[in-house]
Structure 1
Amino acid sequence: MERRDFIKKSATAASIAGLGITAANAITNPLEDSPNPKRFNMKFAPHFGMFKNHAGEDLIDQINFMADQGFTAFEDNNMMKRTIEVQTKIGEALAKRNMTMGVFVIQKGGNLKNTLAAGKQEFIDIFLDGCRKSIEVAKRVNAKWLTVVPGAFQRRLPIGIQDANVIEALRRGADILEPHGLTMVLEPLSDSPDLYLQRSDQTYMICKAVNSPACKILFDIYHLQKTEGHIIRNIDLTWDEIAYFQIGDNPGRKEPTTGEINYKNIFKHIQNKGYEGVLGMEHGNSQNGKDGELAVIKAYKDTSNF
């Protein structure tokens, strides 16, 4: 080996060691398939853009990079906004790499718009149209779970009336989706006090009332840590209606280990309960560039190492 090559390789090794990543796990050529990739023991699902500094802007290259690093699932909130051609290519890439498609969002106009709590027929029609359109999208990418946010809280209506309006609308949505084996996952959010759906017990009640395998809970750990805390206890209380998890540490909504949530304990608890579904990585990277992307991978390796 020539001296300059030795120096270059030594510098690379030192950089990797500084991130706490061994040479065996280092990313040397992110766009080539690893011969024996070490797959995560849980179905963590990255988003587009999370590893673009390594994989580039091409969406299929990003999926391949995720698979090369051991990720076995993927999610994309904006799937319904993509062209049929792009959806088809994404579905083919996921199938080729044996990756599970996670959630995409049923388009109904935004988290606070066209609220189902209002009971207005025009809003219900927009939601049901989104359910119908989602079916073909789900087929192209082999999706099973579709995110639904009911919309804004209605201050001029009693809460019981709002609950009834939401339940009735969701029952109609479930009637559309259930024959196709699709499941709406309702996501309580912490983004605004004007949102109707904010707590896990509230979401549990609604799912029980809808009473359909096509309507379950999306337990977003970041949002519910902000809103109510007691994450493990509330997972246990609502367990039989949970179909999907999403991840983000608090504060900051970045990768695990950057905030106050003990994700290693939570992941272990979820796995011990027998969960085999997807855990969406719905968060940003705490650091910029390639180093930040490597830090995300390391965070998931560390918190799932049990």
Structure 2
Amino acid sequence: MATLGASVAGTTGVFGTEKRQEREKARQGHKFNLKYAPHEGMFKHSAGGDVISQLEYMADQGFTAFEDNGMSDRPVNVQEAIATTMQKWNMEMGVFVAHKIHWSEPNLTSGNENKREEFLSEIRKSVEVAKRVNARWVTVVPGYRDLRLEPGYQTANVVESLKRAAGILEPHGIVMVLEPLNYMNHPGMFLSKSAQGYEICKAVASPSCKILYDIYHQQITEGNLIPNIEASWEEIAYFQVGDNPGRKEPTTGEINYKNVFKYIHDRGFDGIVGMEHGNSRPDGEGELAVINAYKEVDAFM
């Protein structure tokens, strides 16, 4: 914890002012068209192991958002230090996972009231975390299919749970974003396609229930990316990316990210694009390759 405190305090005083001016100058060197959000560890070779130093490095490179799936599990003082640093560099907080995800047994699909209450309790706790780190979006994954129930019953059970969760989130202006997952990396998940997410969001009918469209997952599950994004557009609040195959940075696989990003930019998307992927090379040069890849696919104006 002392490292975090030193990192935050290090930006104050005369030295801190000079350091900040240098960083502001560096940030002016490149401006992305979309709000790409790296995650902790993506630039550890360039910035060191401290999450605060990594945040500052991200800001130096022109990134204006940060994503952290495990934010809820961080100590409160670390959450606060992260929030302070993001505010200092005008960065937005992306998603964090709002609840325990059930990867191998039904929870929301089953309609079991105990499991539903467990989920809602975690949603309540996520509100406090979101307030602490200035997050507007939290990730929700409905979990495993219930093989003993017809799909229609499972959908009704999920919708009921999400309606109750929306009632918790709406007063705070927080949006749960439902993430459809592909069947290869996550076999057995209930929510897998964008049309299914669209159907559920329409049934919940709340501004606090939208879709997290992960382009990597949907390339595997259904392809036809731009038409499916267009069809689901009014219910999409957040994007995540990764190229396929491999789930590494754009330009390493088959997805034409320059065209996809141009489409969502031209549609006026002003939300966050989470960089939920690994680096194709596990070293400092690989980290520079990630930055350059985003500059390349973002150059569509």
Structure 2 length as normaliser, TM-score?
Answer: 0.90
Residues 140-151 of structure 1: matches in 2 within 5 Å? 140-151=132-143
After superposition, the CA RMSD in angstroms is 1.6
For the residue of structure 2 that corresponds to 1:33, the secondary structure is: helix
* Identical positions, percent: 58
Counterpart amino acid of residue 198 in structure 2: Y
The structural deviation recorded for 1:140 is: 1.0
Report whether the alignment pairs 1:257 with 2:251: yes
* Matched residue, 2:214: 220
Distance 2:295 2:264 in 1: 16
* Matched residue, 1:230: 224
Contact 2:120–2:164 (8 Å) recurs in 1: yes
The structural deviation recorded for 1:192 is: 2.6
Distance 2:221 2:116 in 1: 27
Contact 1:111–1:149 (8 Å) recurs in 2: no
Distance 1:194 1:115 in 2: 13
Query: For each residue in 1:60-114, what CA deviation from the matched residue of structure 2 results, as whole angstroms up to 9, or x when unmatched?
Result: 0000000000000110000000000000001111111000100000122444455
Match of 1:59 among 51, 66, 80: 51
Contact 1:147–1:218 (8 Å) recurs in 2: yes
The structural deviation recorded for 1:34 is: 4.8
Match of 1:121 among 113, 132, 135: 113
Larger radius of gyration: 1
Report whether the alignment pairs 1:93 with 2:85: yes
Distance 2:46 2:288 in 1: 9
The structural deviation recorded for 1:36 is: 4.2
* Matched residue, 1:241: 235
Distance 1:228 1:209 in 2: 22
Distance 1:107 1:48 in 2: 20
Give runs of ≥4 in structure 1 deviating > 3 Å: 109-114
Match of 1:303 among 294, 297, 301: 297
Report whether the alignment pairs 1:275 with 2:253: no
Distance 1:215 1:285 in 2: 31
Residues 97-246 of structure 1: matches in 2 within 5 Å? 97-113=89-105, 115-190=107-182, 191-246=185-240
Query: For each residue in 1:249-273, what CA deviation from the matched residue of structure 2 results, as whole angstroms up to 9, or x when unmatched?
Result: 0000000000000000000000001
Shift of the 113–89 alpha-carbon distance from structure 1 to 2, 3 Å rule, reads farther
Distance 1:193 1:63 in 2: 33
The number of residue pairs the alignment matches comes to: 278
Contact 2:94–2:136 (8 Å) recurs in 1: yes
* Matched residue, 2:285: 291
